[in-house]
Structure 1
C-alpha cells in the first residue's frame, strides 16, 4: 500500500508540475521582426503570422499577405485569425501574414494634396511614394529571403490604407497579385485618384481585386463603386464590389476581409 501511494504521489506530482509549466507558458500567434529601411530612414516593426506546421522544409512555398495597419493593437490579430480559420476549413492555402506596424499612417498612406485645409490638419501627409518604394525594394525582398514564399502576394488596406492599396493598383499593379481594399479614402485630394489615367492597370492582367464599403456616407460609397466600375473596364482583371450596408467604418473590416479572402483565394474565380 505504501508503495502504491508513493507511485500515485509521484504521478500526481509530475502531472501538476506539467500543468503548471504549461500554465506559465505564453500563447503566441506570431513573431516580431524588425527591418531597417534606408528609404524611410527608420526601423520598422513587422508582426509575422506563420501557418500551422510551417517550416522551410515541409512547406516549400506559401502565399504572403501584406497587411497595412498591421500593429498588434490594430488589425494584425483578427486578420491572422481569419487566415488561420479559412486555412483550417480549406478555403485558402497555408499563408504567411506580414503585419506592417504603423509609425505615421497619414504620412505613409497618402500622396501630396492640394487641399489647404488637409495640409493644415494633417501636416505630415504626402509621402506614399517613399512608402511604396519601401514595400517594393526593401520589404518584399526581405520577406522573400527569410521565408518560403510563393509568387502570390496580397495587400489588405482599409480607409487610408485602402487609399494606398488603390494607388499601388493604379500605378504599380505588378507589386501584388491580389488587392483587398475596404472603405478606401478616395475623397483624398478631391478624388484625384479616380481621375488618373489607367495606363498601368490597363496593361496588366490576372489580378484579383475585392472592394468593400459599408454605410459610410454618400461620397465614400459612390467613390468605391466608381472605382470598381473603372477597373472593370479591363476584362483581364477579376473584380468583386461588395457593398455591406449593415456595416459602418468601424465594423466593416472583419466581415469585409473574411468575404474578401474567400473571393481572392477561390480557385473558381481565378
Structure 2
C-alpha cells in the first residue's frame, strides 16, 4: 500500500502538535525537531540524522540519557517515538534525547549478506556508533552516561547483533520484531562464545514481537533458550509476545520504556521530601547518572504540605524545588503560596510574577496574583 505525503501529514498533524508543515513541495511534508547529518569516514558517506530534544532543554542545565533510533527516515515512526518521550517524560520516565539515524537505503542495509554471511556493513555501523556518532552527540548535547538503542524488523536484528558484539556500547537494547531468521547459527555462536559474556553492569535486552508474525515466535523462543543458558548473571533479558499486533507492534516503544524504568513513578507513597530524594538517589545509583525528581512530583508534595498547613515542610520542599529547578514556573508558584500563607504578600507577589515571566500563559500564577491583589 502506498501512503501519500498528504495522508502522513494529516495523521501527524492530528497526533503530534509539534510538527510543522511546509508549503514548498520540495521540502519534507513534515519535520520534527532538528534535521542534521554527520560525515562518516567509517561508512564513507554522510549519514542523515533526526534530533528531538526534551522540552525546555535550552533553559535547563540537566543532562539527559540518549535513545538512538534506527530508521528515522520513517517520519511517522520517528514522530511517534518523539511524542511518546514527550508524553511520558518526567511522569513515567526521565526525559530523554532522541537521536534518529536515517536509513534512506532501507534498513536491510544493516543485515549481513545471506550468501557469504558477510558482516562488514553491520560491523562498520557498530564502529560508526562507537567512534563517530556517540562522541559527536556527547560533545554537542548535554548527555548523561546512559544510552539505549532501538531497532525494528531488520534494524531490530542489528540491535541484537550489536548487543552480542559490543555489549557495553549501550546500556539497553530494544528490538521490536527483530529479523532473527538472518544467520541464526552465527548469532547462537556469538551468544555462547562472543563478547556478550563480558558485559558490564546495568545492561539489558528487551524483545517485543507479535504472535502473528510467521516463524518469528519460534525463532525468538530458540534465541531465548540460548540466551538464558549463557547470559551473564546480572544481564537483564526480557521478552514480550503480544497478541494479534502485527509486525513491529505500535505499542512496543511504550512497553520498552516502562520496562526500562519500572519504578520511576513508584507504587509506594513518597510523602516526605527525604523519601522523594532518597528514591531518586537510588535510581541515580542504579542507572549510573543523576535522575532528579520531576518538578511535578515536588510540586504535588509541596501542595500536600500546604493543604495540611505544614508551612515549615512546604517551605523546605519549595526551597529544594527552586534549587534543582531554578527556571521551573511551579517552583515559584509553590513558594509564592507559602509566602502568601505566611502573610508575606510582597514576596508572594514577586514570586507569582516571576512564574509569569517564565510562562506568561501560566493561568495558575495569573489567578493567584489576581486573588492577591483583590
TM-score of the two chains, using structure 2 as the length reference: 0.58
Please state how far the C-alpha of 1:193 moved relative to its aligned partner.
Answer: 1.2
Measured against aligned partners, the alpha-carbon deviations of 1:153-199 in whole angstroms (never above 9, x if no partner) come to: 00001111111001111110111001111111010135531333343
Please state how far the C-alpha of 1:103 moved relative to its aligned partner.
Answer: 2.8
The equivalent residue for 2:89 is 87
Q: Quick check: 1:112 aligned with 2:113?
A: yes
User: Which consecutive unaligned segments of at least 5 residues does structure 2 have?
Assistant: 1-18, 22-30, 265-282, 287-374
Measured against aligned partners, the alpha-carbon deviations of 1:81-134 in whole angstroms (never above 9, x if no partner) come to: 11111115x111110000111132355311233379xx9xxxxx9611111111
Q: 1:106 to 1:157 in 2, by over 3 A?
A: closer
Please state how far the C-alpha of 1:258 moved relative to its aligned partner.
Answer: 0.9
The equivalent residue for 1:6 is none
State the secondary structure of the residue aligned to 1:133.
helix
The equivalent residue for 2:211 is 215
User: 2:213, 2:247 within 8 Å by CA — same for their partners in 1?
Assistant: no
Q: Quick check: 1:97 aligned with 2:101?
A: no
The equivalent residue for 1:44 is 47
The equivalent residue for 2:123 is 129
State the secondary structure of the residue aligned to 2:215.
helix
The equivalent residue for 1:185 is 179
CA–CA distance in 1 between the matches of 2:213 and 2:55?
A: 40
Specify which structure has the higher proportion of strand.
1
CA–CA distance in 2 between the matches of 1:40 and 1:58?
A: 35
The equivalent residue for 2:61 is 59
The equivalent residue for 2:165 is 171
**Structure with max Cα Rg:** 2
State the secondary structure of the residue aligned to 2:232.
coil
The equivalent residue for 1:30 is 33
User: 2:164, 2:195 within 8 Å by CA — same for their partners in 1?
Assistant: yes
User: 1:178, 1:209 within 8 Å by CA — same for their partners in 2?
Assistant: yes
State the secondary structure of the residue aligned to 2:82.
helix
- The worse-fitting range, judged by mean Cα deviation, of 256-265 and 210-219 is 210-219
User: 1:154, 1:178 within 8 Å by CA — same for their partners in 2?
Assistant: yes
User: 2:35, 2:51 within 8 Å by CA — same for their partners in 1?
Assistant: yes
CA–CA distance in 1 between the matches of 2:34 and 2:184?
A: 40
CA–CA distance in 2 between the matches of 1:192 and 1:33?
A: 35
Matches within 5 A, 1:189-268: 189-196=183-190, 197-204=192-199, 205-232=201-228, 233-249=231-247, 252=249, 254-267=250-263
CA–CA distance in 2 between the matches of 1:227 and 1:156?
A: 18
User: 1:187, 1:223 within 8 Å by CA — same for their partners in 2?
Assistant: yes
CA–CA distance in 1 between the matches of 2:169 and 2:34?
A: 24
User: Which consecutive unaligned segments of at least 5 residues does structure 1 have?
Assistant: 1-24, 120-124
Please state how far the C-alpha of 1:39 moved relative to its aligned partner.
Answer: 1.1
CA RMSD of aligned residues (A): 2.5
CA–CA distance in 2 between the matches of 1:70 and 1:26?
A: 17
Q: 1:199 to 1:190 in 2, by over 3 A?
A: closer
User: 1:111, 1:129 within 8 Å by CA — same for their partners in 2?
Assistant: no
CA–CA distance in 1 between the matches of 2:80 and 2:86?
A: 10
Higher relative contact order (CA 8 A, sep 6+): 1
Number of aligned residue pairs: give it.
235
Please state how far the C-alpha of 1:212 moved relative to its aligned partner.
Answer: 0.8
CA–CA distance in 2 between the matches of 1:129 and 1:53?
A: 36
Please state how far the C-alpha of 1:71 moved relative to its aligned partner.
Answer: 1.5
